[in-house]
Structure 1
Amino acid sequence: MITDPLFYAAAIPAVTLMGLAKGGFSGLGLLSLPLMALVVSPVQAAAITLPILIVQDVVSVWAYRHTWDKRNVALLVAGATLGILMGYLLAAQVSDAAIKLAVGVISIGFAIRRMAVERSATPPEAASADTSRGLFWGWVTGFTSMIAHAGGPPFQIYVMPQKLPRDVFVGTGAIVFGIINWIKVPPYVALGQFTAENLGTATALFPVAIASTWAGVLLVRRVSGQSFYTAVYVLLVLVGGKLVYDGASALV
């Protein structure tokens, strides 16, 4: 277990952001790994983070267990499984920075376009959960989650145009990423990332993880559906900007 106080000065805010994201404020969690990577290597930060995410998934799945879309979950998980497998096989060949840059640009473009369209005189009708798009964006979600820990934006790009009720949107994400995180466990074991130090450190952060996830659940339910979607679009632009910055900086 890591005992350096400097690590926990970065890790506790990082885990809090992850919890708020799991509770419903999608996008905030993407800031967590960069925070932890200030004090440990990005690989070790990712290994410490995964057990914490799985514990947080238990809280968020329980909180939204009655509000999720079965068809979306089935399509996205099926695609994500293939994406995770490909991400594991190609991890050494694929540039983490290039993936972040591409996802960031797509996220910003999508969010800005959707905000403009939905504020027009004739907003578009809600999209449907169709098979081809669901499998494709599920694949992208799994692949980017495995390679660059950036599965949130592709999920949002697919689901948000469906205009699901707020709790159904959050619940669907909770179920999807709850399953995805368990699928990622075998590749992490194969890569030798679950050391005693990493698991012990993750365990020490579990109380913060659980408390912050419940806080996210309680806070998001105080926000109206329309305000919630507006906030998610804004967060998607900010997260996209962070991905573009990270990706471009690493490629320079």
Structure 2
Amino acid sequence: MPDVFDITFFAFAIPAVLFAGISKGGFGSGAAFAATPLLALILEPGAAIGLMLPLLMLMDITALRSYWRGWDRASAFVLIAGAIPGVALGGLLYKVADPDVFRLLIGAIALGFVVWQVARTKGMIPAAGQKMSAPVGRIWGMVAGFTSFISHAGGPPAAVFLLSRDLDKQRFQATTVLVFWAINLMKFLPYAMLGIFTPQSLLADLYLAPFAVIGIWVGVRLHRLVPEQLFFTLTYIFLVITGSKLIFDALG
């Protein structure tokens, strides 16, 4: 983290924070993770995730007000319960594990899920007629907790489960907001204990906080304007972008 925040820092940080806020505010958080790789172009990866977490938590609190009690409680509980061991595992392995293996796996799964959904919509695959079960959802929650811990990339595994639950766009978005409010809250103490936060990162968060709130505000309004079918199409596009970026990062 630089001691002096120059124009280069803000040229990268402001768009990253706005993009994350728009995604979290209106599009299921599927692309919010991209803020971290963008910041990692100018910061060390640990500094990038440390900078983003307080901003993501501010976004969560802001978005919760807009989607209050609109979530699917059962689906949210399944993912949050699964995320607890995932976050704990992330904390244990953060300093020793190579995250590229996990980026590659999650990216491949995200892309595979989109292919499967498109094939099912086109009638190429018969619809199973069943939602993902709670035990399967807890596995996805664990993956979301782990990947969120190491790179704030928990959106794709959470979306894989939620998109199978036949939620309308309002409940899908509200459930996503609630789930990642809980996951990000879980991550705060382990981040602090691992020394991921620094005085410079917290100062940068103060500078960037207004842009986090603006991003949420824009995302919420875009969510209300975008038709449901288009919303889920955009969600699949975000999953493709997210999955492709994870694979690219892993192989690069």
TM-score, length-scaled by structure 2: 0.94
Find the counterpart in structure 1 of residue 57 from structure 2. Answer: 54
- The change in CA–CA distance for 1:137 and 1:55 in structure 2 (over 3 A counts) is same
How far off its partner does 1:93 sit?
Answer: 3.1
Work out whether residues 31 and 239 of structure 2, in 8 Å CA contact, stay in contact via their aligned partners in 1.
no
**Which of the numbers 97, 110, 119 marks the counterpart of 1:107?**
110
User: Could you tell me which residue of structure 2 aligns to residue 29 of structure 1?
Assistant: 32
| Deviation, structure 1 residue 101 | 0.9
Q: Quick one: which amino acid aligns to residue 199 of structure 1?
A: L
| Equivalent AA in structure 1 for residue 137 of structure 2 | G
Deviation at residue 194 of structure 1 after TM alignment: 2.0
CA distance in 1, matches of 2:69, 2:187: 25
Pair 1:88–1:121, CA change in 2 (3 A)? closer
- 1:165 paired with 2:171, answer no
Following superposition, the deviation at residue 133 of structure 1 comes to: 1.2
Q: 2-side partners of 1:68 and 1:125: how far apart?
A: 25
CA distance in 1, matches of 2:200, 2:243: 32
Cα deviation for residue 125 of structure 1 reads: 6.4
Equivalent position of 1:120 in the other structure: 123
Secondary structure of 1:171's counterpart equals: helix
Distance 1:208 1:127, change over 3 A: farther
Residue 190 of structure 1, aligned match among 185, 193, 208: 193
Runs of 4+ in 1 over 3 A off after TM superposition: 125-129
Aligned to 2:14: 12
Which is further off, 223-232 or 169-178?
Answer: 223-232
| Residue 229 (1) aligns with residue 227 (2) | no
Distance 1:20 1:125, change over 3 A: farther
Equivalent residue pairs, number? 249
Does residue 74 (structure 1) correspond to residue 77 (structure 2)? The answer is yes
Taking only aligned residues, the RMSD between alpha carbons, in angstroms, comes to 1.6
CA displacement 1:208-233 (0-9 Å, x = unmatched): 10011110000111111111111111
Q: Is the 8 A contact 2:110 2:239 kept in 1?
A: yes
| Superimposed CA distance per residue, residues 167-222 of structure 1 (whole angstroms, 9 cap, x where no aligned partner) | 10000000000010010001101111222111110111010100111100001111
Alignment CA distance shift 1:186-1:17 (3 Å):
same
> Normalization by structure 1: what TM-score?
0.94
Give the Cα separation in 1 of the matches to 2:102 and 2:18: 25
Percent identity, aligned pairs only, is 37
Amino acid of the residue matched to residue 171 of structure 1? Answer: A
Cα distance in 2 between the residues matched to 1:113 and 1:235? 15
Matched, 1:209 2:212: yes
Contact 1:20 1:28 survives alignment (8 Å): no
**Counterpart of 2:142 in 1: which secondary structure?**
helix
Out of 43, 46, 49, the position equivalent to 2:46 is 43
Aligned AA (1:16) = L
The superposition leaves residues 8-44 of structure 1 with CA deviations (integer Å, 9 ceiling, x where unpaired) of: 0000000011001111223221221111111111111
Query: Are 2:112 and 1:132 equivalent residues in the alignment?
Result: no
Q: Is the 8 Å Cα contact of residues 115 and 233 (structure 1) preserved in structure 2? A: no
Task: Describe how 1:169-184 pairs up with structure 2 within 5 A.
Answer: 169-184=172-187
CA distance in 1, matches of 2:233, 2:166: 12
Q: Per the alignment, in what secondary structure is the counterpart of residue 38 of structure 2?
A: helix
**Cα 1:122–1:193 shift into 2, 3 Å:** closer
Q: Secondary structure of 1:221's match?
A: helix
